[in-house]
């Protein structure tokens, strides 16, 4: 695409909004305001009267390049205080009909160009709480995915869930069906913190189950921990990290608590009933996490994810953030086809009706390939220039990335967030903490200035 002819967002009047604050403690105050969970680009919604035709074109076009799939199970036993993804209360009788509907969607699409052909590197069963499904329903869902999708021989198949209502027998059945990675939202081992979050299993039950899961030795076992929670201090968080290390898990994600509108936590916080950690403290929680992982000898494979050995690969998480095709299945599932983001209807009745209507469809941003290259590098903590330059060239931009972004990257170095390295830039500890905020600013900066360089190069 020639960006000189593409519509652009309004350009910022000055670069200052993207600059970091220069201070003695960049972990605490490099940027202000709430930090989102993901850096988003400038994709535009497709008008409702154009969705059906465009959707038909997208599904009739074969995929090329990295591809994954996401399967959404939109039920939860309870609404955790911090969670912004809650959709429907779990009822045992809802499981089998819902799995029937997902299998029907898989079968309907089996002969479409977009579902056939190019192999999928990863499949992620998320939610919601996929592990709430009855064992037989979970097994036939995984078997249906393997039957209807072109999975690569080394495809990573992740089952996300919670310890309550899971159990080792269900875990064995999931592994037998083809799951090779389990990701569990522990959030904290501390008994008081868990109760405030609405976690139903006790500390002892959580540890006992994870011990049993590791003893099965059937696939990668990964957990999430959150820092900044109400009632949690840095010593408590360090204890959580040491407990995770002691269990010998394969992987660990550590996330900052997000103030998501509409969540019970934010409502309680606004009413003064719960008090999470102050925003300026969160970077130091992150530093504690990185320190504990380094002490344990774990490898950082992204700015939020560590692994103990080679069994954990985290393929889905990396590929989906780098712009891979993502086939979505299930009510409310999101996906990405040929750069177009989409979401299936979250309405259960409409979904079960069998048409799986698209609830939203987004056209890719003019510089979507560049955004993807930036996100992929920043997510890993190493922003290499070559992939971004290749994406710029493919988008009709003659200038190199370093020339476009030099003022911003230089300022971030001065703020202690980056260090120049051969072929690109490495994020410092503070930069890794602020990665999402930096990625969003870097994409906006590039959007605003790339056309100037295109026009300049054309005139020369």
Q: What are 152-197's pLDDT values in tens digits?
A: 999 999 999 989 889 999 999 999 999 999 999 999 999 999 887 7
Whether 142 and 227 map to the same domain: the answer is yes
CB-CB neighbours of 442 under 10 Å: 25
Are 58 and 36 part of one and the same domain? no
- In this structure, what are the phi and psi dihedrals at residue 124, rounded to the nearest 5 degrees? -125, 120
- Shared domain for 181 and 268, answered yes or no, is yes
Q: If DSSP codes are grouped into helix, strand and coil, which group holds residue 326? A: strand
Strands 44-45 and 358-363: antiparallel
pLDDT band at 199 (very low <50, low <70, confident <90, very high): confident
Q: Are 399 and 410 in contact (CB under 8 A)?
A: no
Q: 3-class SS at 65?
A: coil
338 within a domain of the structure (yes/no): no
Q: Exposure of 146 by Cβ count < 10 A (0-12 exposed, 13-18 middle, 19+ buried)?
A: middle
Residue 304 and residue 387 in one domain: no
Cα-flanking dihedrals φ and ψ of residue 415, to 5°? Answer: -85, 0
Sign of CA dihedral 101, 102, 105, 110: negative
Same domain, 84 and 27: no
Distance of CA 88 to the CA centre of its chain: 21
| Residues contacting 319, CB < 8 A, separation 6+ | 66, 67, 68, 121, 122
Give residue-wise pLDDT tens across range 273-305: 677 889 999 999 999 999 999 999 999 999 999
- Among 27-31, 33-37, 156-160, name the one with the lowest average pLDDT: 33-37
Task: Check pLDDT > 60 for residue 13.
Answer: no
* pLDDT over threshold 90, residue 356: no
329 lies in some domain = no
**pLDDT for the residue numbered 190:** 94
Number of domain units in the chain: 2
395 part of a folded domain: yes
Tokens of 459: 């005139």
Listed residues 321, 336, 354: the one ending a domain: 321
> Is residue 427 one of the residues assigned to a domain?
yes
Is residue 412 included in any domain, yes or no? yes
Same domain, 287 and 419: no
Q: What is the pLDDT of residue 357?
A: 86
**pLDDT given at position 80:** 61
* Residues 238, 298 within the same domain: yes
The token duo for 255 is 């996330």
Decide if 435 is inside a domain.
yes
Instruction: Report how far residue 232's alpha carbon sits from residue 214's, in angstroms, rounded to the nearest whole number.
Output: 27
**Beta strand pairing status for 88-89 and 44-45?**
unpaired
Domain boundary, last residue among 321, 347, 382: 321
Which one of 257, 287, 321 terminates a domain? 321
Pair 138, 180 in one domain: yes
- Could you give the C-alpha distances from 365 to 41, 125, 288, 386, 419, in angstroms and in order? 7, 27, 37, 21, 29
Query: pLDDT tens for residues 239-279?
Result: 999 999 999 999 999 999 886 666 666 666 667 767 788 99
Q: How far apart are CA 158 and CA 123, in angstroms?
A: 6
Q: Do both 301 and 437 map to the same domain?
A: no
- Contact (CB, 8 A) for 329 and 69: yes
Q: Distance (Å, rounded) from C-alpha 298 to C-alpha 302?
A: 12
End-to-end Cα spacing for the chain = 20
Q: How many CA atoms lie within 13 A of 264 on its CB side?
A: 12
CATH number at residue 118: 3.20.20.70
Decide if 451 is inside a domain. Answer: yes
Pair 287, 383 in one domain: no
Domain range for 81 is 49-321
* CA neighbor of 210 nearest in space, from 243, 239, 256: 243
What value does the mean pLDDT of the chain take? Answer: 89
**443 strand-pairing partners:** none
- The answer on 383 and 306 residing in a single domain is no
- b or e along 89-101 (b: 16 or more beta carbons within 10 Å of the residue's beta carbon)? ebeeebbeebbeb
CA 101 – CA 338 distance, rounded (Å) = 25
For the chain, how many residues are written? 460
pLDDT of residue 194: 87
Cα angle value 368/3/369 (rounded, 5°): 20
37 shares its domain with 180: no
| Res. 85: pLDDT tops 80 | no
**Does residue 83 form part of some domain?**
yes
Q: Are 69 and 388 within 8 A, CB to CB?
A: no
pLDDT of residue 34 exceeding 60: no
* 3-state SS assignment for residue 307: strand
């Amino acid at each position: 695409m020639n960006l000189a002819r593409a519509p652009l967002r309004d350009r910022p009047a000055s670069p200052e909004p993207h600059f970091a604050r220069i201070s003695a403690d960049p972990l605490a105050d490099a940027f202000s305001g709430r930090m989102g969970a993901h850096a988003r680009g400038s994709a535009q919604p497709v008008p409702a009267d154009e969705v059906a035709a465009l959707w038909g074109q997208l599904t009739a076009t074969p995929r090329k390049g990295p591809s994954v799939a996401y399967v959404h199970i939109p039920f939860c036993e309870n609404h955790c205080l911090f969670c912004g993804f809650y959709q429907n209360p779990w009822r045992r009788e809802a499981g089998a009909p819902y799995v029937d509907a997902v299998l029907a969607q898989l079968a309907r699409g089996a002969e479409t160009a977009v579902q056939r052909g190019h192999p999928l590197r990863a499949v992620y069963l998320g939610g919601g709480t996929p592990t709430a499904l009855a064992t037989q329903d979970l097994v036939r869902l995984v078997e249906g995915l393997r039957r209807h999708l072109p999975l690569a021989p080394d495809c990573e198949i992740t089952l996300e869930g919670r310890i309550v209502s899971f159990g080792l027998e269900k875990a064995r059945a999931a592994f037998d069906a083809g799951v090779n990675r389990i990701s569990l939202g522990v959030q904290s081992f501390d008994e008081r913190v868990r109760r405030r979050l609405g976690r139903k299993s006790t500390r002892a039950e959580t540890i006992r189950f994870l011990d049993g899961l590791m003893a099965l030795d059937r696939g990668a076992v990964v957990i999430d921990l959150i820092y900044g929670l109400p009632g949690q201090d840095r010593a408590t968080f360090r204890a959580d990290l040491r407990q995770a290390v002691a269990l010998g898990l394969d992987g660990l994600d550590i996330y900052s608590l997000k103030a998501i509108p509409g969540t019970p936590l934010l409502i309680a916080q606004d009413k003064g009933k719960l008090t999470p950690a102050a925003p300026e403290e969160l970077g130091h929680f992150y530093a504690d996490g990185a320190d504990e992982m380094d002490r344990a000898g774990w490898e950082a494979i992204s700015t939020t994810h560590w692994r103990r050995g080679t069994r954990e690969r985290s393929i889905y998480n990396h590929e989906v953030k780098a712009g891979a095709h993502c086939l979505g299945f299930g009510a409310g599932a999101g996906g990405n086809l040929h750069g177009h983001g989409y979401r299936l209807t979250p309405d259960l009745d409409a979904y079960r009706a069998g048409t799986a209507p698209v609830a939203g469809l987004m056209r890719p941003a003019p510089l979507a390939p560049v955004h993807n290259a930036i996100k992929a590098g920043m997510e890993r903590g190493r922003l290499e220039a070559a992939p971004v330059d290749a994406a710029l060239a493919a988008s009709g931009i003659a200038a190199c990335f370093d020339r476009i972004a030099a003022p911003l990257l230089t300022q971030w170095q001065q703020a202690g967030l980056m260090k120049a390295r051969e072929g690109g830039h490495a994020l410092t500890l503070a930069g890794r903490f602020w990665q999402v905020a930096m990625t969003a600013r870097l994409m906006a900066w590039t959007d605003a200035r790339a056309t100037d360089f295109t026009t300049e190069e054309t005139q020369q």
